[in-house]
Amino acid sequence: MSVIEGTLRDEARAWLAENWNTDQTLAEWWHKLAAAGFAFPQLPEGYGGRGLPQSAARIVAEELGRIGAVAPPGGLGQSMGAPIIMDFGTEQQQQDWVFRLSAGQESWCQFFSEPEAGSDLAGLQTRAVRDGDVWILNGQKVWTSGARTADRGMMVARTNPDVPKHKGLSYFIIDVDAPGIEIRPLKQMNGQAHFNEVFFTDVVVPHDRIVAEPNGGWMVAVATLAYERQGQGGRGGGGGIQAGSPGVKNGDLDRPLSELIQQARAEGEQAANDRNKRTAGAILQLAKDEKRTTDPTMRQRIMSMYSESEALKHSNGRARAAAQKGKQPGPEVSTAKLTMSSLSRQARDISLELMGPYGMLADDDAPYDGAFHTMALSVQSASIAGGTDEVQRNITGERVLQLPKEPQVDRDIPFNEIRGLNKR
């Protein structure tokens, strides 16, 4: 342990002993964490952090977990929005948003994918046309999680159709409650409605909401996706209780911590149980319960899944070590996400085969109260969210294996000259 890490641990432990109690509200606690620089220590001072290496977050998380304290806010705004604004935003944007995100006062969502622009994000058709000091936004986004409770959204829109598709995009931060925005939930086959489709009709966005330069949004979008994949591929258990969802719209900020902790523990146990159904350990236990551990083919499949999951742990460890040295997320986040998709599909296929006809049952009628059935209907999203498997393979092939890029005949053609597009 370095001197800096030891000092930080001592400071965090002493500060928590003085400030942690369950009588305060979630808003009060998160504000204290951010003001002391313990919410996201890797962020600069005054923005919820202390300007320390990424490893500092792990130390604070361990101390939060040690005493059972509530963890800092978590969401797309915290994991993607705040670092993007620090990397590309103006000083005013940083002052307006980053501390608020660190203190859980805002929740953000991501307006990227469109019905005809998923894997080919640069082909998006949502338009923003400048009108003096504002932009007028029209179009549609889809697969937006958290849109119904978010305060703001990270938006990529086309601002210049007369140049090639990658060069005419701009990156905005928009208010989700702005007039002209309509949010419709999408019902999934697992019974949930995690995603939404969102329609924009003459939405007014101030010019100062652009991140980086106008028509320079592609590099910001790519960086955002890298932060997203880093979170998905390297997801792990952080220290502290995950209580409350950031954002004032759900009312959690005004609730006492004691009440939220009780709720979070119950929900956390259920969520952990659901996630664990995708692990090699859960599949092995299912095989034991179904008395299939002597089946050589099944043993081989489970061992293959276990080996792949162990390799992912080591890969994630290397990614975390690189992040602690201040390196930006690289192509390793793509391989990690691919592995997560693979493991999810293996868990689905093996578990349903092990249960046989009982795998078709759901809820209380199914073995394990339908947990494996629900998992099997949910894992398809793992290969889509954060960039499809096909996109991740292209990234890995080009950046790691140095293979030629996929043919893109429209890459250098002005967007409004690409045949077959419904121009807006």
Residue-wise pLDDT tens digits, 31-51: 999 999 999 999 999 999 999
Which stretch of 130-144, 182-196, 272-286, 360-374 has the lowest confidence by average pLDDT? 272-286
Confidence class for position 230, pLDDT limits 50, 70, 90: low
Catalytic residue among 106, 114, 197, 228: 228
**pLDDT score of 333:** 80
Question: 212: phi > 0 → left, psi -120 to 50 → alpha, else beta; which?
Answer: left
Domain boundary among 89, 104, 119: 104
Amino acid at the residue 247: G
Residue at 409 is within a domain: no
Share of the chain above pLDDT 90, in %: 57
Buried b (16+ CB within 10 A) or exposed e, 236-252: eebbbbbbbbbbeeeeb
**pLDDT score of 243:** 60
Higher pLDDT, 209 or 323: 209
Residue at 236 is within a domain: no
pLDDT at 246 over 80: no
Domain boundary among 78, 104, 130: 104
CATH code for the domain of 265? 1.20.140
228 catalytic? Reply is yes
Tokens of 414: 């002005």
Task: Tell me: do 36 and 80 sit in the same domain.
Answer: yes
Task: Tell me: do 297 and 259 sit in the same domain.
Answer: yes
Can you give the pTM of this predicted structure? 0.79
CATH code for the domain of 59? 1.10.540.10
Task: Tell me: do 174 and 297 sit in the same domain.
Answer: no
Domain count for the chain, please give it. Answer: 3
pLDDT at 303 over 50: yes
Residue at 242 is within a domain: no
Task: Tell me: do 317 and 330 sit in the same domain.
Answer: yes
Task: Tell me: do 208 and 329 sit in the same domain.
Answer: no
Tokens of 361: 């049952």
Higher pLDDT, 238 or 358: 358
Mark out the alpha helices in 244-388 (DSSP H runs). 257-276, 280-289, 296-324, 332-355, 371-378
Task: Tell me: do 88 and 128 sit in the same domain.
Answer: no
Residue at 138 is within a domain: yes
Task: Tell me: do 115 and 99 sit in the same domain.
Answer: no
Higher pLDDT, 116 or 84: 84
Task: Tell me: do 378 and 268 sit in the same domain.
Answer: yes
Q: pLDDT, tens digit, for every residue of 51-75?
A: 998 889 889 999 999 999 999 998 9
Residue at 375 is within a domain: yes
pLDDT at 320 over 80: no
Task: Tell me: do 180 and 65 sit in the same domain.
Answer: no
Range of the domain at 74: 3-104
Residue at 424 is within a domain: no
Residue at 235 is within a domain: no
Buried b (16+ CB within 10 A) or exposed e, 18-27: eebeeebbbb
**pLDDT score of 176:** 97
Mean pLDDT, rounded, for 115-131: 91
CATH code for the domain of 170? 2.40.110.10
pLDDT at 301 over 90: yes
Task: Tell me: do 58 and 15 sit in the same domain.
Answer: yes
Arithmetic mean of pLDDT over the chain: 87
| DSSP output for 366-421 | SGGGGHHHHHHHHGGGGGTTTS-HHHHHHHHHHHTS-PPPPP-TTTTSBGGGSTT-
Task: Tell me: do 89 and 15 sit in the same domain.
Answer: yes
* Planar angle of CA 231, 235, 237, nearest 5 degrees: 130
CA-CA distance, 222 to 156, in Å (whole number)? 11
Mean pLDDT, rounded, for 192-207: 94
Task: Tell me: do 38 and 151 sit in the same domain.
Answer: no
